[in-house]
Each structure stands twice: as structure tokens, then as C-alpha cells.
Structure 1
Amino acid sequence: MWNRSMLILHGVENRRPEGHWQHELAMDLRERGEQVFYPQLPETDRPKLADWTDAIRSELALMRGEKVVVCHSLASVAWMHLAAADAASSNPHSADRVLLVSPPGPKAFDWDVIAGFTTTGLDLAGLRLAKGPARLVCSDDDPYCVENAAEHYGRPLGCEVDVIPGGGHLAIGDGYGRWPSALAWCLDESERLTPNR
């Protein structure tokens, strides 16, 4: 019987490449005997919000024990929409704890490919992202969130926030291959995420 399971969710145009911190995280967790779900979300180049949230719900239904969710980029926003839908339908929360990494900001949704994921209209202050702790990790120079994710998302969501100086979008090109502190957080919710230096 599993006492914990992990769900790792990628962003737009991400095909779960080797070297990306999420890919490395999935491998490292599996090596430690953790149950890991790391699906390829549908139509990654032109995603549709309903398709992504449906796919995420399908994965959640397979999980057992403590449900730990790790989202990067557009998946972080998809999770916010899923949390809002859960609250509106009085469903129980889908995860026990969640990590949101580098959610795109309002200006990013000007890109037609992800426009359907816009957070405009979401009551961020009213969202409960998980039954337990939620943490936002962002950089201070993310080109996909020029509005400052710590302020735009972290403050209204009321979650713990770790700001990574000069981290960009916290992707491979920004030096985020294997990320030890992401692994540490998955194994222990009290861990904070720190720069990959």
C-alpha cells in the first residue's frame, strides 16, 4: 500500500525532456521507491484548459496515500483553475500539498496559444490549492511573469513563497536540470527551495 504518491505536471511545449528538473525529479523519486506519475499532457503545443484539467483529474484518481503535486509553468495555472472548480463544486481538495513553480503572469496570456488559461476572473485570494501546505517558487526575472509572481500570485494565494534571484523561468536554459531542493521538498514539506548553484 502506498503511503505517498507524487504527480509532476509540465508546462506548454514541454515534452518531458531528459535534463529538465522535472524529469530528473521523477527519476530521483523513483530511485527512492516513491510512486511517481509524470504524464505527457495533451496537445502540449496548443493546450486546452479543459483537456489538461481532465487529464490531471485522471492522474489524481490513480494516486494513493498523501498526494503531492509539483507543477511547472502553465501547469501551475491549470492547477489554480482546477482548485477553483473544486471549490465551486464542493469537491474535496485534490491534493494534500502542492508546489507551484514559475506560473506565467497576465501579460503571458496575450499569447494566443495559452490565452484560454488566463487567470483573469479567478479569485486568487479565495483559492485553497491543497488540503495542506502550498508553496510558490518563482524568480525575480521570469520573462513569462514580468508582473512579479511573488506579488501577483503569492500574496493573494497566501502561500509560502521562495524567490530565486536571477532564476529566469526555472527551466533547463536557466540552469535548472537536477534541482536538489525540489527533491528535498517532495520528501519533506518543511524544506525551502533554493537556487541551483
Structure 2
Amino acid sequence: MTDMRVLLLHGLGNHRPHEHWQWQLAERLRRDRVPVQHPQLPDPDAPTFEAWREVALAELEMLAGGGERVLLTHSLSCVLWARIAPELPARLRPHRVALIAPPSPARLAQVLPDFPFDTHVDLSELADTRVVARTSDPYRETSVTDASSLWSVPGHELPGKGHLNHEDGHGEWASALAWTLTGDDQAWRLATG
């Protein structure tokens, strides 16, 4: 048993398929006796900010307490985190956050115009945060550097195309597991498939 606790928040259209890296990561962490939360967010095909916010806040409340708290978000949940993080009391903030494959504001506006995207929110002081994304992503028309600069955090660019989901080969993902367990950013350099 570890003193670490992990929260995984999924993206748009994600019904938590077993093939997705988040499901695989949750299962692996549970096998290793690391407490992990991986909730199904409401209406994943037609989400509203308020409904997702309510669940995220409840999950963060359950994550609070002693020990290291780690959050990994994917896609739309990156935007959710950026929106709610500044309002959180310190006791609810995770120590480390990975924003995996965040969409760009323009792409999000095309798909979910009513889901608020706060640009230029400085997340650097709220937790040890980074963006992790492919060089090319169908949900982002900007560079990884530009995506990470929106929130004033470092970015880790993984070569290739894709949205870092099971549809482009991200089931079991050694990099995500290694970073979750160690916090070492060198983990993102591991093979990404």
C-alpha cells in the first residue's frame, strides 16, 4: 500500500472503455495497491460544464487528505481542470497534474461551444503541472508549446499523430504509469504505445 492517491478524469465521448490507457492505468494501480478513482463523468457525449464540475469537485474532496495526490486528465477534462483549479482551496489541490492531449480553444468551440475554455490561466502555482501531447492532434491546431503556454506550464511533446487514446494505440501506457508512480518527467520519453 502506498501513501499516494490518484484521480483520473476522462474526456468527451469517453465511456471508460477497457482499452483506454486510463482504464489500463487504473487497473494496474489497483493491482499495485495504489488507491485510484476513475469516475464516469455525466453525459460524456453531451457534457455540461456544471455537471462535470460537480463530479470533479466531489472526487477531489474524496482525494483530499494526507499523502501525495496525483491527477491525470485527458482531453476535455484538461479544460475542466483549468477552469476549476483556481477556485479550489489548497486542501483540494493535487500535488501533481498531467494534462494529457488538451484540445485547443478553437477546436473545442466547434464541438462544445457552451463548455467554457479559460485561456491564459496560470496553473503553474496551483500544482506541479505539465501538458503531454502528440506533435499532431485532431483536437488541437496549435503546437504543444502553444498549448502548454495557455496555462503557463511545461509541455512534453510526444512524436507522431493522435489524441493519446485507445483508438491510436494507447491502452497500457508505460509512460503514464511511470510518471504517476515517480513524478519523473523523463518517463514521458518512454515508448508511447
Q: Same fold (TM over 0.5)?
A: yes
The aligned amino acid for 1:123 is H
Match of 2:83 in 1: 81
Map 1:36-51 to 2 at 5 A.
36-51=36-51
Q: Match for residue 145 of structure 1?
A: 140
Name 1:196's counterpart in structure 2: 192
The equivalent of 2:176 in structure 1 is: 182
Which residue of 2 is the match for residue 108 of structure 1? 107
* Matches for 1:22-33 after TM superposition, within 5 Å: 22-33=22-33
SS of 1:47's equivalent in the other structure is coil
Classify the secondary structure of the residue corresponding to 1:157.
coil
Gaps of 5+ in 1: none
Provide TM-score, normalisation by structure 2: 0.89
Shift in Å, 1:129: 6.5
Distance 1:122 1:54 in 2: 21
TM-score, length of structure 1 as denominator length = 0.87
Number of residue pairs matched? Answer: 188
* Deviation of the 1:77 alpha carbon: 0.6
SS in 1 for 2:114: helix
DSSP-derived class of the 2:58 partner: helix
RMSD: 1.9
Distance, in Å, in 2 between the alignment partners of 1:170 and 1:108 is 16
**Gap runs ≥5 in structure 2:** none
Q: Percent identity over the alignment?
A: 33
CA distance in 1, matches of 2:72, 2:180: 8
What's the offset of the Cα at 1:145? 0.3
In 1, the alpha carbon distance for the partners of 2:106 and 2:175 equals 29
Query: Which amino acid counterpart does residue 153 of structure 2 have in structure 1?
Result: C
Equivalent position of 1:160 in the other structure: 154
| Distance in 2 (alpha carbons) for counterparts of 1:128 and 1:61 | 21
Shift of 1:152: 2.6
1:94: how far off? 1.7
Q: Residue 60 of structure 1 aligns with which residue?
A: 60
